[in-house]
Structure formats: structure tokens, C-alpha cells
């Protein structure tokens, strides 16, 4: 595991044109339990990448302390690097003129591994990431998803205890992203993972705990379930109706609003043009049971029911006061 206590970083001159010093990280503190995936979310420019670069010993913090498996990132730089495998999003970091095996051999040698160990480890990793049959082909012929899977293999070549993944699925098509997520999920509990992502679904399904960073500060932290529960968004229930001509809509809506736990009740057409009744409920189960009983009494034909729970997007909006920028980041390839 690793932990930080109010880590701070001021950018070096030259990062911005004016030469002004900017405090990128203003006091972030968190601990990552061993054998878990810890997620870091935040809008572009929130200092996610700055934070992980400090943990990876690529940036020097101006104050504060961070330890990885008991080693201080400033005083024990070499020991920290032997503990880590780091993957940064994007296309850089591989040698396109070399094949997958030669790429892994090169990076294995950088970690001090001998050739027999590299050969054994490469064969195992290429099998795990689904590139065994393409191991002899130049990386320049690989699709983006294949390159990202090779990035994962490169990150694990020296069998690190801790893995830092910065936007590992950015720019991937859905199929390739699913494969990479499965590889990430398989890293625990044998390894500890720090994951930054713009994909809320990815964070929800992979992470045991999440920290939301905005303007260099942690503005929310907890399990995905706790963050969603704290969003204070009522659960929404969409009820598709076969025929709504048997009752007066405004009257029914007023009656539904009289049910304890029902906050709003509205009719609107769904994507197929069929009428849908949407409820927001503070107490989903009891309110829904009462609403369905009322609809049956009036002879309404119910064809489908969908319960929409509060999402991580809701939690993010509550924590930062702004919409998540995941779609824009995915399109432009930017990381915060």
C-alpha cells in the first residue's frame, strides 16, 4: 500500500507562458489498502496526472510526504521505482519498429532482468493480454487496443507490487476497453492499483474506493456506493404504459404525488414514442409498490419498469459543482 499526507506541488517555470509559479496540488492526502483498486477522478486540469507523477518519482513535490510500501518517494527514489509499474495513457511509450517480444525485452533489461527471466515473463504476459499469436509482429501494425494491451504487459514485465494506470482505456473502442478493464480487474488482489480515468462506468465497476480531485484538492472520497448515496439524488422509476387513455394524466399525477416517498410524477413519450410515467422517489420500494397498485386499480397496462439509481456522475456533480468532462476528454485524448 501507499499513503500520502498533504502533498503539494508547484509547477516549474515554463509550464505556462507567463512563467508564473502555479500550485498544482494543494494538499492531497489518501491511503490505498493493499490488494485493491483505488480510483482518482476529476475534471481536466484537476491535477490527477501531477499527483501520480509525484508518486512515480517523475515530479518532485515542493512539500508534504508520500510513501509507497514504506519507501519515501523523495529519499528512497530507487526503491520506490522497483515497486512500481506505471502506464500513462496515449500512444507513446512503445517502439513501433520493434515487435512485442523485443519491446518487452528492452523494458525488462531496463529493470535489471536477465534474458531467461524476461523470456519466461514475456511469454506469460503476452498470453494473458491476448497477443501471443502476434508477438513477432512489429508494433506499428497493431491497433490502438492491441498497443494498449502491450502497454499493460510492459507495465507488468518486472512483476511490480504496485501499478499506476493513468487513463488506460482512453480513446479505445468499447470492445478493446472491455478487454483492458478485464486485465485491470485481474491485477488484484495480488497487486495494488491506482487508477485515474474519465470513464465513470469504469471507475464504478473496478474501484473499491474513489477520490474525486478538483483544483488540487480531494473534494469527495469513499466507495462508489457511498459516493452515489451522498449525491442526494432521488431514485428515478420509469414505467412504460401500454395505454394511458383510460385515465386523466394530471389527476393521476396528483394522486401519485400523494404517495409517501414520491417526489415527482410526470408523463412523457420514450424514445419509441410510447407513453412513459417517470417517478422520482426518496423511498423506492415502498413508493413503487404503492404507485403500481394505484396504476393497476385504474387498469393501466404496464409493459416495463426501470429503476435508475443515482450514478457516479451525480456524485461528481455534487462534489465539484460541474458536469463531468469524460466525453470531451475521450475525444481529444486529454488527461487532467
What is the pLDDT at residue 4? 54
Could you tell me the CATH superfamily of domain 2-229? P-loop containing nucleotide triphosphate hydrolases (3.40.50.300)
What is the pLDDT at residue 22? 59
Residues in the chain, pLDDT under 70:
1-24, 89-91, 232, 243-247, 321-336
Cα 75 vs. chain centroid, distance in angstroms? 30
Task: With beta carbons less than 8 A apart as the criterion, state whether 27 and 11 touch.
Answer: no
Residue of 30, 163, 25, 22 whose CA lies nearest to 87: 163
Tell me the domain boundaries of the chain: 2-229, 235-308
Q: What phi-psi label fits residue 22: left (phi over 0), alpha (psi between -120 and 50 degrees) or beta? A: beta
Cα–Cα distance between 175 and 65 in angstroms, integer?
39
pLDDT in tens, 248-293: 788 888 999 999 989 899 988 877 777 788 898 877 788 889 999 9
Same fold across 2-229 and 235-308 = no
Cα–Cα distance between 89 and 335 in angstroms, integer?
8
What is the pLDDT at residue 333? 42
Helices of type H across 157-186: 174-185
pLDDT in tens, 28-60: 889 999 999 999 998 877 788 888 899 999 998
What is the pLDDT at residue 272? 73
What is the pLDDT at residue 330? 41
What is the pLDDT at residue 11? 42
Residue of 51, 55, 63 whose CA lies nearest to 2: 55
Q: Which fold has domain 235-308?
A: Alpha-Beta Plaits (3.30.70)
| Gyration radius (Cα) of the chain, Å | 25
Amino acid at each position: 500500500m501507499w499513503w500520502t499526507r498533504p502533498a503539494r506541488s508547484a509547477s516549474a517555470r515554463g509550464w505556462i507562458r507567463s512563467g508564473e509559479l502555479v500550485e498544482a496540488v494543494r494538499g492531497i492526502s489518501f491511503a490505498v489498502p493493499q490488494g485493491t483498486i483505488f480510483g482518482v477522478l476529476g475534471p481536466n486540469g484537476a491535477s490527477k496526472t501531477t499527483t501520480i507523477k509525484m508518486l512515480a518519482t517523475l515530479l518532485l513535490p515542493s512539500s508534504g510526504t508520500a510513501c509507497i510500501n514504506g519507501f519515501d518517494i523523495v529519499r528512497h527514489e530507487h526503491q520506490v521505482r522497483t515497486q512500481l509499474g506505471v502506464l500513462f495513457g496515449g500512444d507513446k511509450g512503445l517502439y513501433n519498429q520493434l515487435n512485442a517480444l523485443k519491446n518487452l525485452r528492452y523494458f525488462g533489461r531496463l529493470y535489471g532482468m536477465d534474458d531467461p527471466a524476461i523470456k519466461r515473463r514475456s511469454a506469460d504476459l503476452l498470453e494473458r493480454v491476448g497477443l501471443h499469436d502476434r508477438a513477432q509482429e512489429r508494433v506499428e501494425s497493431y491497433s490502438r487496443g492491441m498497443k494498449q494491451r502491450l502497454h499493460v504487459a510492459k507495465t507488468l514485465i518486472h512483476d511490480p507490487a504496485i501499478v499506476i494506470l493513468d487513463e488506460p482505456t482512453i480513446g479505445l473502442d468499447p470492445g478493446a476497453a472491455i478487454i483492458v478493464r478485464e486485465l485491470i480487474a485481474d491485477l488484484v488482489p495480488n497487486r495494488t492499483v491506482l487508477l485515474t480515468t474519465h470513464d465513470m462506468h469504469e471507475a464504478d465497476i473496478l474501484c473499491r474506493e474513489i477520490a474525486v480531485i478538483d483544483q488540487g484538492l480531494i473534494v469527495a472520497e469513499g466507495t462508489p456506493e457511498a459516493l452515489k448515496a451522498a449525491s442526494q439524488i432521488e431514485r428515478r422509476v420509469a414505467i412504460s404504459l401500454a395505454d394511458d387513455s383510460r385515465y386523466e394524466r394530471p389527476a393521476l399525477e396528483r394522486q401519485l404525488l400523494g404517495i409517501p416517498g414520491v417526489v415527482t410524477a410526470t408523463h412523457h413519450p420514450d424514445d419509441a414514442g410510447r407513453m412513459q410515467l417517470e417517478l422520482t422517489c426518496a423511498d423506492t420500494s415502498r413508493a413503487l409498490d404503492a404507485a403500481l397498485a394505484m396504476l393497476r386499480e385504474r387498469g393501466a397496462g404496464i409493459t416495463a419498469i426501470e429503476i435508475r439509481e443515482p450514478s457516479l456522475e451525480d456524485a461528481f456533480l455534487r462534489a465539484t459543482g460541474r458536469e463531468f468532462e469524460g466525453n470531451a476528454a475521450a475525444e481529444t485524448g486529454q488527461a487532467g
